[in-house]
Every structure is written in C-alpha cells, then in structure tokens.
C-alpha cells in the first residue's frame, strides 16, 4: 500500500473536507456522542486551524484520504496546561510544545504502521523539544494508550477538555 503524505499549514477547503471525511469514518462508532459529532469536531478543527503553529498531515492512497494527524504549538499560557487535573511541576510548561490534537487512520490501514508514519511526518520539521497528546484510556480497551507508550510517550496527567468529553490521559515525549 503506497502512502503519500501532504502537509498543510493552512486549512484549505479540500484538506478540511478530506480530514472531516476520514474523521467521520474513524470515529463512526462514537458519532452518536455529543463530543464526537462531526459538527462538533469541525468547530474544534476550525478553531485549532487559527491557533499558533497549526500543522496538518494528511495521508493519501492515490486520491483517497486514509489518515491524518494535526496539532498546534502551546506555550506556558495555553489553556492546554491550565486544564490539567493535577498541578504540574514548576517550570514544566515553560518551553513550547507541540500538542497533537488528533490522530486517525481508517480501519483498513490500522496495524500497518500508517498512523506512526503520519505522526512522525508531523513531528519531522517541528522545532518544539517535546510533543504531547491526550488519549482516552478506554479506547481500544487500553490498546491505543499502549500504542502511544510504544512510541515513547508517558502519562503525565489527565484532563477533561469539555463537559461532554471523557477524562483523557495526557502523555508527553521528547520530539
């Protein structure tokens, strides 16, 4: 299976639609939940696309979008750090980090290394020293968190980004 990776620093209409199409497929079992509805995700995506350091990597097989990862830069004043359940050690958030907001790969591409390739491509040109993401500890019966741990992430805290969201585990690693 060939994979073409395309970077986007601006969210074009085509990239946005391709991302929404993949998201709807990836999250299909959860779309009935308010936090996972495509419309709710689209609102978050549009907000994220205007935040500092936005970058999206879309993976394609031919003309078909099959996966994505995107994120933004967060500094010490970013709400990402302020929503943590437990206080962070002094100075922990002082250096900018890449916050991966979403990673998703269509079912036929799971277990093929595609998610890791898209993830690594997103990190390839970044200048932040660390990268962080959040994961639902119940996703895949804990397997998704295990995948991130195998990529070098470690749990540091937790947060509930919105009242509709489940409590998520915040994970971090060196870039």
> pLDDT value at position 1?
64
- Give bridge partners of residue 8 from the DSSP assignment: 56
Domain boundaries, the chain: 4-127
Low-confidence residues of the chain: pLDDT under 50: none
* Nearest CA among 166, 164, 169, 102 for reference residue 134: 169
> pLDDT value at position 175?
86
With a CB cutoff of 8 Å and minimum separation 6, the contacts of 23 are: 38, 41, 68, 102, 104
Map residue 58 onto helix, strand or coil: strand
The answer to whether the beta carbons of residues 168 and 158 sit under 8 Å apart is: yes
The CATH superfamily label for domain 4-127 reads Gcn5-related N-acetyltransferase (GNAT) (3.40.630.30)
The answer to whether the beta carbons of residues 144 and 95 sit under 8 Å apart is: no
Q: Please tell me the distance from the alpha carbon of residue 71 to that of residue 126, in angstroms, as a whole number.
A: 11
Mean pLDDT of the chain: 93
The answer to whether the beta carbons of residues 67 and 118 sit under 8 Å apart is: yes
The answer to whether the beta carbons of residues 155 and 169 sit under 8 Å apart is: yes
pLDDT tens-place string over residues 104-129: 999 999 999 999 999 999 999 999 99
């Amino acid at each position: 299976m060939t994979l073409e990776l395309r970077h986007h620093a601006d969210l074009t209409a085509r990239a946005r639609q391709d991302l929404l199409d993949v998201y709807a497929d990836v999250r299909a079992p959860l779309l009935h939940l308010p936090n996972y509805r495509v419309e709710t995700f689209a609102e978050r995506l549009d907000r994220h696309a205007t935040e500092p350091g936005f970058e999206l990597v879309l993976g394609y097989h031919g003309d078909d979008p099959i996966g994505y990862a995107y994120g933004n830069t967060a500094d010490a004043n970013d709400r990402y750090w302020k929503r943590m359940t437990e206080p962070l050690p002094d100075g922990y958030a002082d250096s900018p980090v890449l916050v991966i907001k979403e990673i998703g790969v269509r079912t036929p591409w799971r277990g093929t290394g595609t998610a890791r390739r898209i993830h690594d491509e997103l990190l390839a040109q970044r200048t932040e020293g660390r990268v962080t993401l959040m994961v639902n500890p119940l996703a895949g019966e804990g397997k998704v968190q295990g995948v991130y741990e195998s990529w070098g992430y470690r749990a540091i805290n937790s947060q509930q980004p919105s009242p509709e969201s489940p409590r998520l585990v915040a994970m971090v690693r060196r870039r």
